[in-house]
């Protein structure tokens, strides 16, 4: 057993590291610093966990700290004090290491699936609505300047905006009337809402849906705006650090860049189901037939079939069209 070694550390009197001579006896550790020598009982020592790549710290009374590079001496000191610490024993234990790995994986999966989402929903009320406005405006500047082209259906877009405005008034719901924008991005069939309340209808969607069906889509997107699903998704995507930035600082430009470059954030399936229900309620309250939403989902299912797209439920942020159609029928 190694009973002597040299080490570097701090003697509690100076901020400069010094070389010390260490010696083990039956029940104590002797530390010599030049002409000064101290003896410490094992019970007064605090040892850090050992590592093959890092020195072992030893804390002594009086603010003295020793860093042991000699792994054999560190092991002898630990044995003299009564054995290895629980971390070292766990690392040395195969089953314990596997259990720790499994628990880590489960924690990461839970955070990705639920934990971050739960935290985002809990923190959302703390985020001022002005953040939604700034992010939406910056994202729109990028999208309209870089990714979208002018619509081929301007007159119909203006007419749809008037119909939507009238439907909201009939429903007695004029809390917030969003700005409707129509643009083109290739043949993409889509609609999305920005956090500041702008709802964008793409030409591919206008060319495949009737006016009544587009009104249902607008009701769906309005739900995303009012329930702040975009901000919640953004917070979930950027994690807890983003939440702190939203609450305590201005990170709107960075967040808007993330929002814009992903061309709209993926909402959770629960958010999509919630927006579907709100669309049905909006159509019913405005005197329109909620059953038109079944036509919408059938058309989307047909588009998926034409494109040969089949996304497993667990890989998709949207419920499958068949599920959404059944929900409307219920």
Q: Residue 79: which CATH number?
A: 2.30.29.30
Inside any domain, residue 108 = no
- Of 88, 110, 137, the residue that ends a domain is 88
Tell me how far the alpha carbon of residue 55 is from its chain's centroid: 36
Q: What letter does residue 124 receive in the DSSP assignment?
A: G
Tokens of residue 35, six digits: 């002409």
Inside any domain, residue 17 = yes
Number of domains in the chain: 2
SS3 9: strand
Inside any domain, residue 295 = yes
State residue 185's pLDDT score.
92
Give residue for tokens 């089949």.
310
Inside any domain, residue 20 = yes
- Assess contact for 41 and 27: CB atoms under 8 A: yes
The answer for residues whose C-beta is within 8 angstroms of residue 218's C-beta and 6 or more apart is 160, 164, 180, 191, 199, 201
Residues 199 and 323 in one domain: yes
- Of 63, 88, 113, the residue that ends a domain is 88
Residues 174 and 322 in one domain: yes
Inside any domain, residue 122 = no
Beta-strand pair 179-184/149-150: antiparallel
Find, among 235, 315, 330, the residue nearest to 277 by Cα: 330
Inside any domain, residue 296 = yes
Inside any domain, residue 297 = yes
Residues 83 and 165 in one domain: no
State residue 212's pLDDT score.
95
State residue 155's pLDDT score.
96
Residues 232 and 314 in one domain: yes
pLDDT in tens, the chain (330 residues): 568 888 888 766 777 788 888 888 878 888 888 778 888 888 888 887 666 667 888 888 877 888 888 888 888 888 887 755 555 555 555 676 677 677 776 765 665 566 666 777 777 888 888 888 988 898 898 899 888 999 999 999 999 999 999 999 998 877 777 899 999 999 889 999 998 989 999 999 999 999 999 999 999 999 999 999 888 877 776 664 544 454 445 545 555 544 444 444 456 778 888 999 999 999 999 999 999 999 998 888 888 777 765 444 433 456 666 777 777 777
* Structural domain harbouring 13: 4-88
Inside any domain, residue 99 = no
State residue 248's pLDDT score.
45
Residues 133 and 230 in one domain: yes
Residues 76 and 169 in one domain: no
- Of 64, 88, 112, the residue that ends a domain is 88
- Assess contact for 57 and 67: CB atoms under 8 A: yes
Residues 305 and 180 in one domain: yes
């Amino acid at each position: 057993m190694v009973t002597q070694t040299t080490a570097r550390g701090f003697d509690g009197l100076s901020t400069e590291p010094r070389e010390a001579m260490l010696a083990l006896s039956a029940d104590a550790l002797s530390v010599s610093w030049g002409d000064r020598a101290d003896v410490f009982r094992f019970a007064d020592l605090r040892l850090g966990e050992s590592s093959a790549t890092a020195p072992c710290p030893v804390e002594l009374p009086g603010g003295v700290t020793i860093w042991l590079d000699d792994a054999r001496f560190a092991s002898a000191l630990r044995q003299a004090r009564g054995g290895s610490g629980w971390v070292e024993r766990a690392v040395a234990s195969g089953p314990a290491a596997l259990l720790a790995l499994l628990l880590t994986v489960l924690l990461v999966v839970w955070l990705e699936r639920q934990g971050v989402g739960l935290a985002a929903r809990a923190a959302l009320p703390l985020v001022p609505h002005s953040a939604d406005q700034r992010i939406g405006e910056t994202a729109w500047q990028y999208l309209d300047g870089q990714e979208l082209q002018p619509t081929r259906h301007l007159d119909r877009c203006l007419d749809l905006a008037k119909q939507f405005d009238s439907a909201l008034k009939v429903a007695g719901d004029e809390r917030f009337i969003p700005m409707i924008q129509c643009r083109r991005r290739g043949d993409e069939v889509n609609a999305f809402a920005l956090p500041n309340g702008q709802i964008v209808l793409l030409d591919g969607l206008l060319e495949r849906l009737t006016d009544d069906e587009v009104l249902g889509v607008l009701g769906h997107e309005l739900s995303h705006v009012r329930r702040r699903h975009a901000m919640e998704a953004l917070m979930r995507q950027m994690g807890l650090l983003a939440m702190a930035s939203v609450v305590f600082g201005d990170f709107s430009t960075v967040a808007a860049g993330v929002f814009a470059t992903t061309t709209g954030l993926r909402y959770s399936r629960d958010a999509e189901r919630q927006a579907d229900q709100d669309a049905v309620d909006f159509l019913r309250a405005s005197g329109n037939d909620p059953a038109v939403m079944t036509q919408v989902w059938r058309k989307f299912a047909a588009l998926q079939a034409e494109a040969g797209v089949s996304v497993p439920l667990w890989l998709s942020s949207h419920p499958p069209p068949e599920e959404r159609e059944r929900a409307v029928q219920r």
